[in-house]
Amino acid sequence: MRDMQIETTYLSDLARAWASGVQGAVPAPDGLDADTFMRLIGQQPVLQTLVPCLDRTVLQPSVCRRLDQEVEVAERRTVMLLLELERVLPALAEVGCRPVVLKGASLALTVYPRPEDRWFVDLDLLVAQDELSTVYEALQRLGYHFSENAAAGELYDRYHFHRIMVSNQGVCLEVHWAVTLPESVYSHDLEALTHGAVEIPLGGASFLAPSAVDQILHGVLQSIADGFGDLRRLLDLHLLDGRLTAEEREQLCARARAANLSTGLWLQYFLREQILGAEAPAFLHRFCGSESAMMRTMEQLGVAESCLTGRAERDRGYADLMHWVCVPRNLRGSEMRRYIFPGMGGLVNSGLCRNGPLPMWKRWRLAATRSLVAGRMISEWARAAV
């Protein structure tokens, strides 16, 4: 397999140029394979964000045309989803619900220079648990329906933190009552999230968006879940960090500790420094008693390159390894066991119960497979830590 170091370096160069506010194209390095690079950047949901920095002289005209079409489709999807949000929010307000808009839509409208610069594919709304039935009914009147069957829906209600609804036009909307699994070792202070939400104008109305602190912590949760394989999260962090006050930085530290997210937050900033070239803030040094050893381990594991190449998507177990790295040391053993022998919540989160509970023989087969995967990942971690 061809070494992709030149292509990953150029992708990092584009991200650094974007983070530094550089205008115009970033010259491509000698030896860049255009086809390999286009596959690489195509795996990351940052195309519409970084494409203005791309050196088109290394691309064939047909590739440039296809690239422009893909960017146009992505931007139109963002606009369409925001228009749908404008349709949904008044209907929910009529039944007395003002949800907090999470993730992509909220970030697009609060921290990016243009909403079209932020790639996302669905809408995420956080509502109080006692409002769920009212919200579901209001959305159904707008043409939404649940994506899973009744049996799977009951499992999601009990073991998950959101339900997925789809409109007649194909818009995907996640209704959240939390942002972490009930059995997760991580947490998120929902009361602080709700009380700290800020009102943002949208069309002729407004919506509630999480504070910068909550956006950062939620982004860390998502990065841990996907194995730190989404470059978009680092771009989000870069914009959000620039908005933090000294008081909010202290708040971020305290809440990260309380949520078991200290190492995850440190790793998110470490990757931002490695890939975007932005120096990590001094407050993060408090999180690691042996920060230099942690940095060496992360460099040996190649987490920055893994982020750029999307290793978590193709290497089973890598995302779980990143989770174990982030878990407090005294909880790692139990989390590894829970990976091999997942409870119902873990099975639901892995998408293995879409048609109801998993038969016991499949659970044992899953445990055997995961034991081998865990052994391989732990061996890699041990070698990197030497």
| Contact residues for 263 (Cβ-Cβ < 8 A; gap 6+) | 287, 288, 294, 325, 326, 327, 328
In order of 200, 287, 298, 367, the CA distances from 291 in angstroms are 38, 8, 10, 34
For 230, the token pair is: 């989404």
Q: How far apart are CA 326 and CA 17, in angstroms?
A: 29
Q: How far apart are CA 323 and CA 332, in angstroms?
A: 9
Residue with tokens 């407090």: 328
Q: How far apart are CA 164 and CA 145, in angstroms?
A: 8
Band of pLDDT at residue 125, cut at 50, 70 and 90: very high
3-state secondary structure of 162: strand
For residue 176, the cross-strand partners are: 126, 162
pLDDT, mean over the chain: 91
pLDDT above 90 coverage of the chain, percent: 73
Taking 90 as the threshold, does the pLDDT of residue 206 lie above it?
Answer: no
Q: How far apart are CA 48 and CA 58, in angstroms?
A: 18
323 Cα distance to chain centroid: 13
pLDDT at 3: 54
Band of pLDDT at residue 14, cut at 50, 70 and 90: very high
pTM tops 0.85: yes
- Conformational region of residue 260, where left means phi above 0, alpha means psi within -120 to 50, and beta covers everything else: left
For 222, the token pair is: 């998502």
- Consecutive H or E run containing 124: strand 123-126
Q: How far apart are CA 252 and CA 249, in angstroms?
A: 5
The pLDDT tens digits of the residues spanning 266-284 come to 999 999 999 999 988 877 7
CATH architecture of 86-210: 2-Layer Sandwich (3.30)
User: Which residues in the chain are classed under CATH 3.30.460.40?
Assistant: 86-210
Taking 50 as the threshold, does the pLDDT of residue 1 lie above it?
Answer: no
| Contact residues for 336 (Cβ-Cβ < 8 A; gap 6+) | 324, 374, 378
Rounded mean pLDDT, 231-240: 96
**Sign (positive or negative) of CA dihedral 288, 289, 292, 294:** negative
The answer to whether the CB of 215 falls within 8 A of the CB of 255 is no
The pLDDT tens digits of the residues spanning 343-386 come to 888 888 887 776 667 788 888 999 999 999 999 999 999 999 87
pLDDT at 2: 43
